[in-house]
Structure 1
């Protein structure tokens, strides 16, 4: 229960950065094209989001997946907050690892980070893949919901952190609010999600992200006015039944971006790369092949 999950095909590397230690999962040959994978929020980490992808992708690509500060096995670095700072952190890590010309893949909060990576560090990325990405809605559904969410994030840590720890004990309930069918998830992923949720500082990284992006009347991370500036090829992959991030944001982003397409998956919730693994791997493989033509 206390042993961190390691996806098949992955190895663990510790990278000193910003006075701390970043846990990075790596697979494949460093000589192959680089895929930089950015996990989501809540009780996520690199091993959870990308558990099913390391083995198939490592056969051809150099796969790199870090735990962001405040998540997983990364230690000694305070959570950086919003997606802009997360993007800068990922870019600094990529530089430390000698990565360039990467295809960046992000899910949920990590999709928000990858969009910002493409905007803030365009020379680093040659293509992006966004799975149910955050950062593409002007506001939460309804003024009351927006105001309530903002007020909650304004509470002091002495209130928020115990509340997060209490909520994290109900792992089964949390998963049922994220995925269409919990039985579609590997048992190993469910166990790691539970282990991550019960860490002493679990939720702190996601809390700092939400404090940065949720405003009293609107979302501070809405990138729809800016995504048209992203010209690299982009693939959006979104579950049609996503209960957390409306697919409409992905649809609108694709409409505004010059080189983007959307794969919308029926009977699929928020963790689309895990729930619809075979479909995602097929779409991703086709996208990557197109970049090499």
Structure 2
């Protein structure tokens, strides 16, 4: 009898009071990958095509942030930027990591910025992909993502929003991601994170622009030109604010840069993080 192993479940550690599921591959200087905030998301679902290639030269750590994936969902907790930033700090403490590079996808980019503002000495470099972190008008795409109600049809609509390349989207993937979104506790925590009016969720994840402008760490900004979830203008604004920033824009690309342009994304990240 073959036992099916879920690749989303990896290592477990207590980060503060939160039992945390995280992937840990490779050796060398650490880089932490912070996933986005789609329904049913996990670190593995987000970064499965990137962890292995990046781990050839780095120690790659990809956690499920509190409330997501297979990390704890504490009862009565209020989800928000402060909780997620503290969770990340507690995880680094638990792993004995004093300083790291950060790669943040969308929601994860906003957390990376907030973490760097609060703990500037702990962040060496940042890569922000389709990132939030500054305020912008709520898009129809993000409203649909955060307002997701579980069904295969609704998941298929979201996948169409995420990807510019429709060949990446099929009924099998929609069913797979739908099943992930309705695992016990997943939708309950997700639906509590970004309630309407969802503009407030964008603003809550944003950091003060004057504080962003003080960040001196080298930063690489990556965005899909046709992103319907987070507008490309958000990365352009971050590029204006961050003093040591580079901006790479992919044409014919939606919100899934790391999936739609996997090889180029991995090359860009590996080159930027090369010692």
The answer to whether the superposition gives a TM-score over 0.5 is yes
- Cα distance in 2 for partners of 1:286, 1:4 equals 31
- The alignment yields a C-alpha RMSD, in angstroms, of 3.0
Aligned counterpart in structure 2 of residue 34 of structure 1, from 11, 15, 30: 30
Aligned to 2:63: 66
SS in structure 2 at match of 1:261: strand
Matches within 5 A, 1:119-198: 119-140=117-138, 164-167=148-151, 170-184=154-168, 193-198=177-182
d(CA) in 1 for partners of 2:271, 2:258: 15
**SS in structure 2 opposite 1:99?**
coil
**CA deviation vs aligned residue, 1:149-173 (integer Å, no higher than 9, x gap):** 7xxx9xxxxxxxxx85535663222
Deviation at 1:227, TM superposition (A): 1.4
Match of residue 227 from structure 1: 212
Q: Which consecutive residues of structure 2, in runs of 5 or more, have no partner in the other structure?
A: none
Q: Does 1:276 align with 2:261?
A: yes
Moved over 3 A (4+): 17-20, 163-169, 184-192, 203-209, 211-218
- Counterpart among 11, 14, 36 of residue 12 in structure 2: 14
Matched-pair contact (CA < 8 Å) for 1:19–1:77: no
How far has the Cα of 1:211 moved from its partner?
4.3
Count of aligned residue pairs for this structure pair: 266
Q: In the superposition, relative to structure 1, how do residues 219 and 267 fare at CA in structure 2: closer, same or farther (>3 Å)?
A: same
**1:48 partner SS:** helix
- CA separation in 2, counterparts of 1:286 and 1:189? 31
Unmatched 5+ residue regions in structure 1?
154-162
Are the structure 2 counterparts of residues 271 and 246 from structure 1 closer, same or farther at C-alpha, using a change threshold of 3 Å? same
